[in-house]
Structure 1
Amino acid sequence: MTGTMDQTRPAAGATGGPARSRPGKALVAVAVLAVLVAAPLVLGAYPVTTMTRMLAFAVLVLSVDLLTGVTGLPTLGQAAYFGVGAYTAVLVGIHVTSDALTQALAGLAAGLIAAALTGWVAVRARGIVFLMLTLAIGETIHQVAGTWTLVGASNGLAGMPPVSLFGGPPLLAAGFVYWWVLAAATVVFAGVALVARSPYGRTLRGIRDNEPRMRALGYRPALARYGVFCLAGAVAGTGGALWAAQARFVSPGDLGFEMAALALLSVVIGGAGSLWGPCLGAALVLFVRDNLSASIGGHGPLVLGLVFVAVVFLLPRGVAGFRLRKDRPS
C-alpha cells in the first residue's frame, strides 16, 4: 500500500516548481527591461537607432508568432499589414499630426482593417495552402504600394516630421524615440502575452493541436482563426507605425517578401509559440542583416541561412525550446 502511494504521489517540486519559478521569471523580465531602458544612457546614437529598429521589427515578429506558434498558421503575409501600418503612420504624420500615440493607433487600426478585409478567405485554409494565400496577399499589397502614386509608388513616402508625445516638443534625440518605441513594444508584448495565456489563447492552441476535437466540442475554428488573424494584423500595423516613427520614411521594400521571410525566420530561430524567443530571433536577424552583413562583404543572407540550418538540426524548437528541453524530466 505504501509503495503504491509513493508511486502515485507527485515528485518533490512537481507541483510547486512552476509556482516557484514565476518570481524568477519576473525578476529576469524586470532585469531585461531595466537594461533596455538604460541602453541610451551608455550607447551612442547609431546603436540606439539600431535597437529601435529591432524593437519595431520584434512587434512584427510577435504578430507572426501569434499566428504561426500559437495558432499553427505559418504565414508570409504579415509584412503587408506592417507596411500598411507604416504608410498610415507616415500619412498621418505628414497631413494630420506628429503625435506618436495617434500615429500608432492609426497604424493599429489600418492593420486591423486590412487583415479583416483579406483574412476571411485565408483562414479557411490550413498548412501550405494558407501559407501560399498569405504570400499572395502580401505580394498584392506590395505591388499596390509600388505603383500607387498617392503613397509615392516605388520611391516610397518621405517628408514625415519628427514625432512628439502629448503635444510636447519633437523627439529629436535618438534616445527619446527609442524610449517611446520601447514603451509601445512593451505594451504590445504584454497584450499578446495576455491573449496567448487567456482562454481564447488556449482555444487557439486546441485548434492547432486537434481541430476535429475542438469542433466536436462546439467551437468554431474558422471564426477563432479569423479573430486571431485580425488581431495579428493589428499588432503588425502597430509595429509598422513604430518603424515609421524611427525611420520617418517608408518604401515598398518594407512590406515585401524579404521582410516577411525574415519575420518567419525569426520565429523559427527563436522558437514558435514562446513569444520572447521570437523577439530574440528578431534582434539576431536584423543585426545580421543590417550590421554584420556590411563587415563580411554582404554575406549576411548566407550567415542567416547557416543559422537557420543549425537551428533546424540542433534546436528544432528554437532557442526557447532549448530551455524547455533541458528542464524536461528524463
Structure 2
Amino acid sequence: MRALRVAVAVAVLVGLVTAPWTVDDYTVALLARTLALGLVAVSVALLTGVAGLPTLGQTAPYAAGAYAGAVVGGQLSDVGPVHLLVAAGAGAALAVVALPLVLPARGVVLLMITLAVGELAVVLAGRWTSVTGGTDGLAGIAATRPLWGLPVLATDRARYLYTLVVVAVLAGLVLLVLRGRVGLLLRAGRDDEARLRASGHRVAAHVAGVHVAAGAIAGAAGSLLVTAQQYVSPADFGFDTSALLLLGVVVGGTASVGGALVGAVLVVAARDWLFGALPGQAPLVLGLAFVVVAHLLPTARRTRRAGRARPPSAPDDARPGDARRPPAVTGVRA
C-alpha cells in the first residue's frame, strides 16, 4: 500500500508540473482551481488526521479568504502576497470566532458543529450582497500580480504556475512544522488527549492553535481560487465541496498532508471528468466511491497492522520438532 501511494503521488506531482505544456488551456484552468481545493484539503488533513479533530467546515474560512482576497484585489492592491496575507487573516479570524463552539466538542459532535459553521458561511455569503454580490457572486475581478513590479498573470498557464508554486510552498511549510515538536504534540493529543493533559500540557491551547492555523491555510486557498478563476460565488463553498475534500483526505491518508493534497487533486479531477462522461450521475458515483473507500481503507490498515504484529518465523536451521520439545535444564539432578 505504501509503495502504491508513493507511486501515485509521484505520478500526480509529475503530471501537475508538466500540465501547462501537455494539456489545453481549459484543463489548465481546472487544475488551478483543483490545486486551490487541494490546499484546503491540507488544512482538513491537519485537523482530521494529525490533530484528530474531524471537520466538514473548512469551506467557511475558505470562503472568507476568497471574498477578502476579491475585495482587496478590486479596491486596494493587485499584488498576490497582499491577497494571500489578507485572505489568510480572514480565514484565521473566522476560525477564532468559531473557537467557542469547537473547543469543547470532539468526535461526531465536532463534525456536525463544523458542518453547521460551513453551511452558515454559505448562507451569509449568499445574503450579504453589498460585499459578496449575493448568489450572483463577484465577477470581473482584476488579474493578480505575483510580485511588485512584475506583469499581471494574464494567461491560464501563468495563473496555474503561480498557484502551483504557492501551494507547494505552503504545503512544504506545514510538513516542516509537523516534523518538529508541534507535530508530536498534535499527534499525542489525537492518540490520548487525557494523558497529554495529565502531563501538564495545555490541550485547549493546542486545539485552538491548530484550528486557527488550519483556518489561515484555507483562507490562503480562497485567495488562490480567486486568482485562478477571477470569479467567486457561494456555489464554490457548498456541502458537496466539503464532502469532496473529506473524501480526498480519506483517499490520500488522513494523517498525511501530502497524501491529502494528492487525494484531493485526484478526487476533484475525477469529479470533473465524471460530470462530462456521466451527466447527472456524477454525485451518485462519487457517493458510492466515498462509501467504498470508507470501508476498504480501514480494513487495509488493520490487515497491515496485523502483518506487522505477526511473530517472526523460526530460523531456517531449526528443525520442525524443536519447537515442541521442552528446553533442556542443566545443573539440576532428578
Q: Structure 1-normalised TM-score?
A: 0.85
How big is the shift at 1:274?
A: 1.0
**Any residues of structure 2 matched to 1:95-106 within 5 Å, and which?**
95-106=75-86
Which shifted more, 168-177 or 303-312? 303-312
Tell me the equivalent position of 1:48: 28
Deviates more, 1:172-181 or 1:131-140: 131-140
- In structure 1, the residue matched to 2:141 is 160
Rounded to whole Å, the distance in 1 between the matches of 2:93 and 2:156 is 31
Q: 1:229 aligns with which of 187, 211, 222?
A: 211
Where does residue 319 of structure 2 map in the other structure? Answer: none
Q: Kindly provide the amino acid, as one letter, of the partner of residue 287 in structure 1.
A: A
CA contact (8 A) 1:271 1:317 kept: no
Q: Indicate which of 133, 139, 162 corresponds to 2:119.
A: 139
Q: Does residue 1:59 correspond to 2:43, yes or no?
A: no
Query: Are the aligned partners of 2:40 and 2:62 in contact in 1 as well (CA < 8 Å)?
Result: yes
Structure 2, unmatched stretches of 5+, are: 311-334
Aligned pairs (5 A) from 1:281-292: 281-292=263-274
* TM-score when normalising by structure 2: 0.84
Partner residue in 2 for 1:293: 275
**AA at the equivalent of 1:249:** Y
List alignment gaps of at least 5 residues for structure 1. Answer: 1-20
| SS of aligned partner of 1:88 | helix
* Deviation sequence 1:130-149 (CA, Å, 0-9, x none): 11211221122211111012
Contact 1:145 1:252 in 2 (8 A): yes
| Cα drift, residue 120 of structure 1 | 3.4
Q: 2:64 aligns with which of 68, 84, 87?
A: 84
Give 1:233 deviation, angstroms: 0.1
Q: How does 1:108-127 map to 2 (within 5 A)?
A: 108-127=88-107
Shift of 1:34: 5.3
Residue of 93, 109, 134 corresponding to 1:129: 109
Deviation at 1:237, TM superposition (A): 0.4
2:156 & 2:207 partners in 1: Cα distance?
A: 38
Moved more, 304-313 or 153-162: 304-313
Indicate the residue corresponding to 2:201 in structure 1. 219
8 Å CA contact 2:12, 2:262 repeated in 1: no
- Tell me the residue number matched to 2:163: 181
Change in Cα spacing, 1:324 to 1:194, as seen in structure 2 (3 Å) is farther
- Cross-structure match for 2:223: 241
Per mean C-alpha deviation after superposition, the further-off stretch among 274-283 and 242-251 is: 274-283
Classify 1:262/1:164 alpha carbon distance in 2 versus 1 (closer, same or farther; 3 Å): same
Equivalent residue for 1:316, pick from 264, 273, 298: 298
Structure 1 distance, partners of 2:12, 2:307, is 22
The answer as to whether partners of 2:9 and 2:259 remain within 8 angstroms in 1 is no
Say whether the 8 Å CA contact 2:59–2:218 is kept in structure 1: yes
| Offset, 1:30 | 8.2
Separation in 1, partners of 2:161, 2:95: 28
Look at both structures and tell me which one has the larger radius of gyration over its CA atoms.
2
Number of positions where the alignment pairs a residue of Structure 1 with one of Structure 2 = 304
- Residue 284 of structure 1 deviates from its aligned partner by 2.2
Maintained 8 Å contact 2:19/2:28: yes
RMSD: 2.5
Paired letter, 1:160: I
Shift in Å at residue 123 of structure 1? 1.8
State the alpha-carbon separation in 2 of the partners of residues 52 and 235 from structure 1: 16
